[in-house]
Amino acid sequence: MPALICNHRIIMNTSTVEVSSGKDTAYENFPVGSWLLPAKLRPHIATFYHFARAADDIADSPDLASEEKILRLDQFEEGLSNKSSGENPPPQAGLMAASLIATNVTPSHCLDLLAAFKQDATKTRYANWQELIDYCQLSAAPVGRYLIDLHGGFKVGDQAGYEPSDALCAALQILNHLQDCREDYQELDRVYLPADILAHNKAKIEDLTATKATPSLRNCLNEILAGVDELMRKAAALPTGLKSTRLAMESQAIINIANRLSRKLRQNDPIQGKVKLSKIEYITCCISGALGSLFR
């Protein structure tokens, strides 16, 4: 969930390792625990989101050294397993641990997220597309997998398993990378654009500091968006494979959001400013996705 850094502050309570970026669900490209999902599950989804946000804020904090970030994320991992060596484990880790017990969902998805955030603390460049996808498998895929497990999994006989969900989550992650590519580089010296795609298009990392995309960088962004298109073709099968009708409606809404955002990123320049959906576009994607899945 790498993103634009804004006004990080270290929480003054010495019993916690958490930091705050000021981001909330309104920042995300996708709905978090929306009304489409069962009311009884929304508190658990909120707990998962706040756990992921708290850990991600540590990884993205410009005020912490890499070693300190990993140390704090280790404490999240310990708190998740109720094995924290400190007197006061990170609050969000404790809440997440209790939620996992209550819902009987494996902690592996949360552990994968923590592994991704630790990687963010030390790794700032990606050599190729596959290396980026491997990162998304830790940083994005666990979100979809958690929601699927929470909602009862797949229909009997579905052979695709997590693959369409993994593809959708990777696509959303990479679209977020493109939205924030300038800020990620300037604020964190972190570049998710694969080096071989930059080289193939004769683009340079320094192009990210310009006031608008150079022709070479524009070609690079378009090549990455072509990769996102391939992921979205795989993601299209997700709603029909889910056991939960409510989650199928939500997933189709998210697919619509991702496709619309991908088109906007082709038409607009993320170097010049944040490319995002308008409120009307966002609502339209959600309604059309929910109705389309319901009446399919």
Q: What is the pLDDT of residues 232-265, one digit of tens each?
A: 999 999 999 999 999 999 999 999 999 999 999 9
Residues, the chain:
296
When divided into structural domains, the chain yields a total of 2
pTM of structure: 0.88
Residues 141 and 91 grouped into a single domain: no
Residues 48 and 129 grouped into a single domain: no
pLDDT at site 242: 94
Q: What is the pLDDT of residues 4-59, one digit of tens each?
A: 223 333 333 334 566 654 554 445 666 666 778 999 999 999 999 999 999 999 99
For 7, list phi and psi in degrees, rounded to 5.
50, 55
Last residue of a domain, one of 54, 87, 122: 122
Last residue of a domain, one of 122, 146, 166: 122
Residues 130 and 221 grouped into a single domain: yes
Q: What is the dihedral of CA 117, 211, 22, 25, to 10 degrees?
A: -80
Q: What is the pLDDT of residues 143-184, one digit of tens each?
A: 999 999 999 999 876 766 899 999 999 999 999 999 999 999
- For the record, the structure tokens of 194 come out as 């694969």
Contact of 136 with 176, CB cutoff 8 Å: no
Residues 172 and 70 grouped into a single domain: no
Q: What pLDDT band is residue 83 in, cutting at 50, 70 and 90?
A: low
- For the record, the structure tokens of 209 come out as 């500091």
Region of 167 (left: φ > 0; alpha: ψ -120 to 50; beta: rest) is alpha
- State the burial class of residue 58 (Cβ atoms within 10 Å of its Cβ: 0-12, 13-18, 19+): buried
Distance CA 257, CA 285 (A): 6
Bigger pLDDT: 290 vs 215: 215
Contact of 138 with 112, CB cutoff 8 Å: yes
CB atoms within 10 A of CB 187: 16
* 15 domain-assigned: no
Q: What is the pLDDT of residues 193-224, one digit of tens each?
A: 999 999 999 999 999 999 999 999 999 999 99
| For residue 84, pLDDT beyond 90 | no
- For the record, the structure tokens of 63 come out as 């005020």
| For residue 109, pLDDT beyond 90 | yes
Residues 204 and 294 grouped into a single domain: yes
* 18 domain-assigned: no
Residues of the domain holding 277: 124-296
Q: How many CA atoms lie within 13 A of 204 on its CB side?
A: 4
